[in-house]
């Protein structure tokens, strides 16, 4: 680790070794807590990206032909190395993302769920076998890796999302090229060292740092067979449309505008505690963060606002080095400016500011990218802060008169990532889970993110393509199924020609 005054020049990880950038272009990596530049990250040229993909393609056949038992043995060693180096990983994640230690530790834990699932790859890639389907023919299906696959990861989860995108891909026999977020590249480079120590062959894991040049080469390069993307909805749409145009298998997960519906029978103290963690954790920089709370009935809303105001006002915003910090900064000055502008527009459009995160001393005086927890009441559909995803701690209240109204509003929104309802009424919960058009649904669960062995993806503008992140669908996404029909001829078998279509009547 470097001191606050040092600025490290980072590398790519290509062919099993750290490789200096050659493009002459660099991006700056900040410590969001202090606002200091802590590293320069090389931005790969098209040619550098092409070379990295070519090296991955060269070594893929040997990894494909490695037994699945040996592959999962290496994945298990990699998992153990993550846990053994947890403290170092925590420091890197906190330093380049601004997360609290608790939040970073939770991210690593969730990322390990994807690694654990990948260790079970032998079960997930089992094929099917049928004996004597007709004419002494046996038929079987088998799953094969695709080849070189790519992952493009976001800044908000420096390790969890890359692990979810790549662990299964490696376990089932692919070579992976990761285009890590240029805002948080140090975690992925450290993970590269762990893969090497685990015994992964050189070239099977590649990290290319870069911007649109690198991304476009990944999208267009004929050697790349599949792409997994997580980020904003506009970019997800671009990734899906461009990658599909070039014949690739693409799953592109976009943003979320996630709602928490609160029924009158819910315990509002429990609701408030659940909402605060789900809404403001990680400075609200989660695609599954609760953006909008929808209390049903004016009395429910009035009582809930009173409870929330006191609890939100008591939250502490600060550095990850302070143990009692609830959440830290947003990722950049640009993000901070965007969140503050969204609050200003919400207020100008008629929303009521219940808790104002613009007024904290740390927001005004620190060089870090801090925004205090903000809550806007009386927000209406059509207001920008309701319609657009705000990737920062500015949350809103939309009052509704009935569960039907809440369901209708949520289903009308262009995003459908996550949603939850708090109620003690089983009928209301059943109606909600049945009628809601959202990919991940919670009942009395504040953040309905599935565990690593269940599929993760939203609906509508929150997902482009049919693949998922997490879950068994990862094994299907990163493999292709080959079906074989075979018959071994005996010496007395007929040698005459037949022109009928093969059938099981033979």
Can you tell me whether residue 425 is helix, strand or coil? coil
Distance spanning both ends of the chain, measured CA to CA: 70
Helix (H) / strand (E) containing 183: none
Can you tell me whether residue 152 is helix, strand or coil? strand
Nearest to 279 by CA among 261, 259, 300: 259
C-alpha torsion sign, points 281, 104, 364, 349: negative
- The whole-angstrom separation of Cα 413 and Cα 391 is 17
Q: Judge whether 287 counts as a catalytic residue.
A: yes
- The whole-angstrom separation of Cα 334 and Cα 341 is 11
- Token readout for 3 is 């001191």
Nearest to 421 by CA among 302, 292, 310, 260: 260
- Tokens 């991210």, residue? 107
- The whole-angstrom separation of Cα 101 and Cα 114 is 21
Q: Kindly tell me the burial class for residue 21, based on how many C-beta atoms sit within 10 Å of its own C-beta (0-12, 13-18, 19 or more).
A: buried
Nearest to 109 by CA among 64, 72, 67, 159: 159
Can you tell me whether residue 396 is helix, strand or coil? strand
Marked catalytic residue, from 175, 287, 330, 339: 287
324: left (phi over 0), alpha (psi -120 to 50) or beta: alpha
- Token readout for 156 is 């908000």
Nearest to 441 by CA among 454, 477, 453: 454
Which residues are annotated as catalytic?
287
């Amino acid at each position: 680790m470097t001191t606050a005054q040092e600025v490290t020049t980072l590398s790519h990880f290509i062919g099993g070794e750290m490789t200096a950038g050659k493009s002459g272009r660099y991006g700056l990596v900040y410590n969001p807590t202090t606002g200091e530049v802590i590293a320069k990250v090389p931005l790969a040229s098209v040619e550098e990206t092409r070379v990295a993909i070519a090296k991955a393609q060269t070594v893929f056949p040997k990894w494909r032909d490695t037994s699945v038992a040996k592959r999962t043995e290496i994945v298990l060693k990699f998992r153990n190395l993550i846990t053994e180096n947890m403290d170092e990983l925590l420091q890197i994640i906190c330093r380049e993302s601004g997360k609290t230690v608790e939040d970073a530790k939770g991210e690593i834990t969730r990322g390990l769920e994807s690694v654990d699932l990948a260790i079970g790859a032998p079960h997930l890639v089992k094929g099917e076998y049928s004996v004597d389907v007709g004419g002494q023919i046996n038929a079987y299906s088998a799953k094969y890796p695709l080849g070189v696959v790519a992952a493009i990861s976001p800044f908000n989860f420096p390790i969890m999302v890359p692990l979810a995108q790549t662990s299964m891909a490696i376990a089932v026999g692919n070579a992976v090229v990761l285009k890590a977020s240029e805002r948080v590249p140090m975690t992925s480079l450290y993970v590269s060292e762990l893969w090497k120590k685990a015994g992964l062959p050189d070239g099977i894991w590649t990290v290319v740092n870069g911007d649109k040049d690198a991304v476009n080469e990944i999208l267009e390069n004929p050697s790349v067979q599949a792409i997994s993307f997580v980020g904003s909805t506009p970019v997800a749409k671009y990734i899906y449309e461009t990658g599909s145009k070039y014949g690739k298998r693409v799953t592109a997960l976009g943003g979320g505008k996630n709602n928490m519906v609160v029924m009158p029978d819910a315990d509002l103290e429990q609701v408030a505690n659940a909402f605060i963690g789900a809404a403001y954790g990680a400075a609200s920089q989660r695609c599954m963060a609760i953006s909008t709370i929808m209390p049903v009935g004016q009395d429910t809303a009035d009582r809930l606002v009173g409870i929330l105001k006191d609890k939100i006002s008591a939250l502490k915003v600060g550095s990850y080095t302070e143990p009692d910090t609830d959440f830290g900064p947003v990722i950049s000055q640009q993000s901070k400016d965007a969140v503050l502008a969204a609050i200003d527009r919400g207020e100008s459009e008629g929303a009521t500011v219940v808790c104002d995160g613009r007024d904290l001393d740390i927001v005004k005086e620190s060089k870090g990218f801090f925004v205090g927890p903000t809550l806007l009441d009386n927000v209406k559909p059509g207001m920008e802060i309701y319609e657009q995803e705000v990737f920062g701690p500015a949350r809103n209240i939309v009052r509704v008169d009935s569960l039907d109204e809440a369901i209708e509003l949520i289903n009308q929104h262009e995003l459908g990532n996550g949603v939850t309802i708090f109620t003690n009424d089983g009928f209301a919960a059943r109606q909600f889970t049945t009628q809601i058009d959202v990919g991940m649904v919670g009942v009395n669960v504040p953040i309905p993110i599935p565990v690593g062995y269940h599929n993760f993806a939203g609906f509508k503008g929150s997902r482009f393509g049919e693949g998922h992140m997490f879950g068994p669908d990862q094994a299907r996404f990163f493999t292709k199924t080959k079906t074989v029909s075979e018959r071994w001829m005996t010496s007395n078998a007929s040698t005459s020609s037949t022109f009928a279509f093969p059938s099981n009547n033979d």
